[in-house]
Amino acid sequence: MVVVMRGGASDADVTKVVKAISEVGGDAFVSRGKNQTIIGLVGDLAQFTELPLHAFPGVEDVIRVSKPYKLVSTETHPRPSTVWVGDSSIGRDTVTLIAGPCAVETEEQTEQGCRMAKEAGATILRGGAYKPRTSPYAFQGLGEPGLDILHGVSRDLDLPFVTEVVTPADVDTVAAKADMLQVGARNMQNFQLLKEVGMAGKPVLLKRGLTATIDEWIMAAEYIAHTGNLQVVLCERGIRTYEPMTRNTLDVSAVPVAQSLTHLPVIIDPSHSGGKRELVLPLIRAGIAVGADGLIVDVHPKPEAALCDGPQALVRDDLLQLRETVQRFAGAAGREVATVDRQRREGAWGRSAATA
């Protein structure tokens, strides 16, 4: 069961509902969006039946949710949410391009890769400072120095950036500089990390695990929402199947399925799913065609020298085709390509919010 508060509900109104729930032995978890607050109720439903919750000041609706995920369900939020990262939005009305180098290697490489991303039409930059790799001998990222490089480049280009955080101990460090935190496929069910990332108060990009079901993926998002943070974007990154011709298999059906179950934006990762440069644009076309709200794409100035995932990175010669592909297919789907909204800036970088 969830209690949906009106847009103008005060903190005192929320406190009264929480107190009433606690007094009958239930637990209440408050999640705040930009325009609306939701209170999730946990406990025996019989505890709450005698409470006149509809009559409490500031209460708009009381909803019994049948799904195991309460806060991110469309039963709670019939209208899709838009997540803002700085001045850039990710939502159902537009197609958002997130792009940049898979890994931060040097300041020059990062600056060139991010400029390529902006030239291609990206409104959010990406780059990995911390890299969880299958092999302990593979490049693990530059760590905090890489984070500083990415932060400096993003500010020079006047675009927000998303980067992965891999351990709970690093959340505060990354959140202090990044505009959006990424939880990677390998950490999708690292529940302590999900909690810490949620409590950081920044927008979160949550990638689907290699063997995760859609329900498990959405339940991972619920862990983040449970901390009070509804600023979550789901990313279909490709799942592991029997087919060895691609790095992973992009589950395009997951996009409309997830959108039917949750109000959160859903994007795709055509780079890590295909694993080959020549597959990225075809997978982008497929993703937009099924309704993806955005794309996260690897670019690199010299992929043959890349320390991480060079074969899947787009090069400068691909940028015009990338931009035209996104524009053409977004238009065919009746959507616009997301642009940066400078009018919306809310003071300091990183003060982002989800709107329901």
At residue 145, the 3 state secondary structure works out as helix
- Convert the pLDDT of each residue in 3-13 to its tens digit: 888 888 888 99
Q: For residue 49, give Cα distances in angstroms to 14, 24, 81.
A: 19, 10, 29
Residues 55 and 183 in one domain: no
Residues 19 and 136 in one domain: no
pLDDT score for 93: 92
- The rounded Cα 18 to chain-centroid distance in angstroms is 28
pLDDT score for 29: 82
pLDDT score for 344: 60
- In the structure encoding, which two tokens stand for residue 110, read together? 């990062």
Residues 202 and 309 in one domain: yes
Residues 142 and 197 in one domain: yes
If one counts the domains in the chain, the total is 2
Q: For residue 247, give Cα distances in angstroms to 66, 252, 338.
A: 36, 15, 28
pLDDT score for 34: 64
pLDDT score for 63: 81
Strands of the 82-85 sheet, one edge to the other: 88-90, 82-85, 354-355
Residues 43 and 174 in one domain: no
Amino acid identity, position 169: A
Q: Is residue 68 part of a domain?
A: no
Q: For residue 317, give the CATH number of its domain.
A: 3.20.20.70
Q: Is residue 99 part of a domain?
A: yes
Contact between 250 and 270 under an 8 Å Cβ cutoff? The reply is: yes
Could you tell me the mean pLDDT of each successive run of 10 residues in the chain, 356 residues long?
85 90 84 76 74 88 81 87 94 96 95 97 95 79 92 97 96 97 97 96 97 97 93 97 94 97 97 96 97 97 89 94 96 94 51 43
pLDDT score for 62: 86
